[in-house]
Amino acid sequence: MAAVRSCPARERAAILLQDRPPHNPLRPPCHFPPATRPARRRTSPTRASPGRLARVTLRLLLICHAPTEATRRARFADPGDLPEPSGLAAAQAVRGTPGRITRAVRGPEARCRATAEALGLDAAVPDDALADLDVGAWRGLPMDAAGPGLAAWLADPAAAPHGGEPVAALLERVASWLEARPEGPERVAAVTHPAVVRAAVLHVLGAPARAFWRLDAAPLSQTRLSRSGGRWRLRETGHAL
C-alpha cells in the first residue's frame, strides 16, 4: 500500500483552523482584537449645572385683586372701590397660596389693600407704578355711558378721550417698573389690577400694544414671571390662585 505523502501547507492550515475559535453566526464581526477593543464610555444623566440654576434668581407673582361691584356690573372702576364680600371670602379661602414670599407690594387702591390683607400679605407696600389704568372722567361710569370715544379708546393705544391715561402710557409705566426690578434671590408678590397684568405680559412677550385687549386677567388670577440674565420670562398666566 502506497504511503500518503504529507503536505506542509495542509498541515499549517489544519493548525490554524484548530486555533481559531468556533464561528458564532449571532456575533457581529469585530475589527478589533479583544485586547485592543475600545472601552465603552459611560454617560451620566444630564443635570443642570449649579451655575445655570443660580441665574434664575427673581420670581415675580402678579395677583389680580378680588372682584368688585365694578367687575360684576361691567363699569369703569373707581379708586375707592372695595372687593365684594364674596370676593374677600374667596381670597381668604386661598390664604397662604402665594407660598414663600420675601417681599410683597400692591397697587395703592383700596381694593388691592383689602385683597392683600385677605391673602395674608398684610405687609404689602403700596407702589404707584402698580396703580390701575386712569380712565379720567369715566371713573365709576357704566361702559355704555362712555359715548363715541369708547371705540377710539379701544382701537388706539395712544388715545385718551376720557382725559386720563392712554394705554400706551400704562404699558410704558409697567415696563419701566419691571426693568427696574433688581435681580437677586427674591420671591416677590404683587397684588394689582388686570390692566397692569396685561401690560406686564405684553412687555415680557414683546407683543404689540394693540394686543392689550386680547388678554384676559380674571379676579384672583395669578401670573408668574421670572427674570435671569437681564431677561424676563413668562411662566404662567391666567390661572386661578
Q: Is residue 155 in a domain? A: yes
Q: Which domain holds residue 175?
A: 56-240
Residue 87 forms part of a structural domain: yes
Torsion of CA 213, 214, 215, 218, to 10 degrees: 70
- Residue 17 domain-assigned? no
186-192 and 58-64 beta bridge pairing? parallel
**Interior angle at CA 85, CA 83 and CA 86, nearest 5:** 100
pLDDT of residue 176: 98
State how far the Cα of 15 lies from the Cα of 13, in Å rounded to an integer.
5
Measured over the CA atoms of residue 171, residue 80, residue 241 and residue 62, the dihedral's sign is positive
175 exposure class (CB count in 10 Å sphere: 0-12, 13-18, 19+): middle
Largest CA distance in the chain: 133
Q: For the chain, what percentages of helix, strand and coil (3-state, to nearest 5) are there?
A: 40, 15, 45
Q: Is residue 26 part of a domain?
A: no
Tens digit of pLDDT at every position of the chain (241 positions) = 444 444 454 555 444 444 444 455 444 554 545 455 455 554 444 444 444 444 558 999 999 999 999 999 989 999 999 999 999 999 999 998 888 899 999 999 999 999 999 999 999 999 999 999 999 999 999 999 999 999 999 999 999 999 999 999 999 999 999 999 988 899 999 999 999 999 999 999 999 999 999 999 999 999 999 999 999 999 999 999 9
Question: Cα(205)–Cα(214) distance, rounded to whole angstroms?
Answer: 14
18 in a structural domain: no
Enclosing H/E stretch for 50: helix 50-55
The reply to whether the predicted model has a pTM over 0.85 is no
Domain annotation covers residue 42: no
CA distances from 172 to 16, 56, 165, 224 (A): 87, 25, 11, 20
SS3 label, residue 99: coil
Domain count of the fold of the chain: 1
pLDDT of residue 46: 41
Q: Is 15 a member of any domain?
A: no
Q: What is the pLDDT of residue 39?
A: 53
CATH number at residue 231: 3.40.50.1240
234 within domain boundaries: yes
